[in-house]
Amino acid sequence: MTIEQKITDIVANAIQQLYATAIPTEQIQLQKTKKEFEGDITVVIFPFVKAARKSPEQTGQEIGNYLKQNEPVIQSFNVIKGFLNLSISTAYWLELLEKINTEKNFGFKAADESSPLVMIEYSSPNTNKPLHLGHIRNNLLGFSLGEIVKANGNKVVKTNIVNDRGIHICKSMLAWQKYGKGETPESSGLKGDHLVGNYYVLFDQKYKQEVSELMAKGQNEEEAKKNAPLMLEAQEMLRKWESGDKEVYQLWQTMNGWVYVGFDQTYKKLGVDFDCIYYESETYLLGKEKVQEGLEKGVLYQREDGSVWIDLTAEGLDEKLLLRSDGTSVYMTQDIGTAKMRFDKYPIDKMVYVVGNEQNYHFQVLSIVLDKLGFSWGKDLVHFSYGMVELPEGKMKSREGTVVDADDLVDDMVATARETSQELGKLEGCTEVEAENIARMVGLGALKYFILKVDPRKNMTFNPKESIDFNGNTGPFIQYTHARIKSVLRKAQEQGIVIPSKLDVNCSLNEKESGLIQLLADFPSIVNQAATEYSPALIANYIYDLVKEYNQFYHDFSILKEENKTVKELRLLLSENVAKVIKSGMGLLGIEVPERM
């Protein structure tokens, strides 16, 4: 039972005793006491004044008195306006810290056999271009959500659906075939995904040329776009692919292979991974089957031209296409097939799709479609819908070359971290390998934290001209604090100090210390909230608060030079546990923390 629950109960009793009124516990509002007032926990009195028929101040006094008499943990109180500020006893805080210290995975719940299985789909790249900043947000959010859901006692399966087929893939294949002169990653030294991406861009350029030529000859834009030879060729290529043309298929395999090697490097660099990867080329046919089933069941209907639709007007939505008139599949079809494949393999209790908010409508429809097709989890699938990453000028546009490449960005961040470390002379005495590993952690930490600290639902702005900060509310600031604590702990060990797990009950506590313990104690509920709200940002902001508070404490009080032994031990134990929570919290964001930096 937490102190908050305890106080809530006693406040309810107090109101019952003092005013003979039963008050629902939801009406008992507790909050942390603001810094400028004395106390740790504050009870908001306003909701009770009606029952008390007294002024807020008087009511507060009466309830305060009752609490103090009936709960030894409450040491003193004061009432300011309608707020009852309670000071909690030192003994309570010390015990709380001891308890936190005993839990190695403090704040985390372990999953067992009977835990629900949550599948999280994220990343979901197209194989025609390299990953960019938008994908980075997706990948970081997906990975972090996985960690958070896991930490809340669920089994998690991370999955990825690779969009490896379709007209867009054929475009880069065609461009390579026509203009590539046999270029390979080996021959050019380019990363495979970048190489393929170049041909996708090239296709677009050549295609635009053709379109404008046709328009010059008198065709309107729509006609020209349809009739451009390159587009016709690409479509022909897709048909050949679908009919299993050997040459096309081989080209497709070769080029996708290049891309996968590139993606794997990027994923590895980002520190994200998957438990199972699906490929659209392997699932889209299954989707078609499932659509046929739906047709037979009468859930779907076929038009005269052979196209298959679902009518969602009863749900307030439109009619939605599931199969084209020529029998080829669309986006939705593939999702249905992938869903079936996953469902066959895993006992999925909850499915989470990490996909941008531009696809809100798609998932609204998908949920209903899956439900109608008989997937038990279809109805309450979660579309984790996150906002776009925008540049100061607006949306990133690959055709205009304004995309921020994922590999470049990570490399830049690591390089900046490396330079900063050198400038500050922080890594003297480290081996080159250690120094490089720290630069990697810090550079990546800066990028990851920058992205994850903002509310995922909101669009965010990234300014490539202003590099991501390393000071203030940033990943490196948090990592730095962790390194600092570790440094103190190392020194303590060198001095032969053994940090006790039991503290002297007579140990005194200053405000920073009790405040830190109180913050530490919040961690489990933050972890829980992050899962129910699907928000890594909550974790990020919490850790920042904790770290900010710790740095003030660190600045104001010395630890190893403290003369009072019990106080010194307390501060060490406190520091150790702050480091522990920093590390596990950052772990939930997929951010590593160094021992020194």
Partner RNA sequence: GGUCGGGUAGCUCAGCUGGAUAGAGCAACAGCCUUCUAAGCUGUGGGUCAUGGGUUCGAAUCCCAUCCUGAUCACCA
CA atoms within 13 A on the CB side of 47: 15
Q: Whole-number minimum distance, CB 577 to RNA, in Å?
A: 16
Q: Which of 92, 386, 581 is nearest to 589 (CA)?
A: 581
What is the edge-to-edge ordering of all strands in the sheet holding 301-302?
301-302, 308-311, 319-323
Q: Whole-number minimum distance, CB 82 to RNA, in Å?
A: 6
Write the interaction track for RNA spanning residues 115-154; mark x where CB under 7 A is met and - where it is not. -----------x----------------------------
- At position 283, the amino acid (one-letter code) is T
Q: Whole-number minimum distance, CB 581 to RNA, in Å?
A: 17
From candidates 139, 144, 160, 163, binder to RNA by CB under 7 A: 163
From candidates 58, 184, 307, 566, binder to RNA by CB under 7 A: 307
Chain positions 518 to 537 lying near RNA, rule: CB under 7 A, are 537
- CA Rg value for the chain: 30
From candidates 417, 517, 521, 539, binder to RNA by CB under 7 A: 417
Chain positions 461 to 500 lying near RNA, rule: CB under 7 A, are 461, 463, 469-474, 476-477, 480, 483-484, 486-488, 491
Nearer to RNA by Cβ, of 64 and 180: the residue is 64
Q: Whole-number minimum distance, CB 176 to RNA, in Å?
A: 19
Q: Whole-number minimum distance, CB 463 to RNA, in Å?
A: 7
Chain positions 41 to 80 lying near RNA, rule: CB under 7 A, are 42, 44, 46-47, 80
From candidates 424, 467, 501, 505, binder to RNA by CB under 7 A: 424
The reply on whether position 249 binds RNA by CB under 7 A is: no
Separation CA 139–CA 132 (nearest Å): 11
Q: What is the DSSP letter of 304?
A: T
Separation CA 243–CA 118 (nearest Å): 36
As beta bridge partners, residue 277 has 160
Separation CA 40–CA 89 (nearest Å): 10
Chain positions 577 to 596 lying near RNA, rule: CB under 7 A, are 595-596
Chain positions 434 to 463 lying near RNA, rule: CB under 7 A, are 438, 442, 453-455, 457-461, 463
Find the part of the chain contacting RNA (CB under 7 A) among 9-17, 82-90, 185-193, 287-295. 82-90
In sequence order, which residues have a C-beta less than 8 Å from that of residue 442 and are 6 or more positions away?
414, 417, 420, 421, 470, 475, 476, 479, 594, 597
- Strands 308-311 and 319-323 turn out to be antiparallel
Write the interaction track for RNA spanning residues 263-282; mark x where CB under 7 A is met and - where it is not. -----------------x--
Total binding residues toward RNA, as defined by CB under 7 A: 93
- Strands 382-386 and 30-32 turn out to be unpaired
The reply on whether position 223 binds RNA by CB under 7 A is: no
Write the interaction track for RNA spanning residues 22-41; mark x where CB under 7 A is met and - where it is not. -------x-x-xx-xx----
The reply on whether position 219 binds RNA by CB under 7 A is: no
- At position 301, the amino acid (one-letter code) is Y
Tokens of residue 114, six digits: 């009977």
Contact 487, 495 (CB under 8 A): no
Q: Which of 170, 172, 161 is nearest to 333 (CA)?
A: 161
- Strands 41-44 and 83-88 turn out to be antiparallel
- Strands 350-356 and 117-121 turn out to be parallel
Nearer to RNA by Cβ, of 111 and 577: the residue is 577
Nearer to RNA by Cβ, of 190 and 255: the residue is 255
From candidates 90, 219, 510, 551, binder to RNA by CB under 7 A: 551
The reply on whether position 305 binds RNA by CB under 7 A is: yes
Number of C-beta neighbours around residue 579 at 10 A? 21
Separation CA 332–CA 353 (nearest Å): 14
Nearer to RNA by Cβ, of 43 and 111: the residue is 43
Nearer to RNA by Cβ, of 111 and 542: the residue is 542
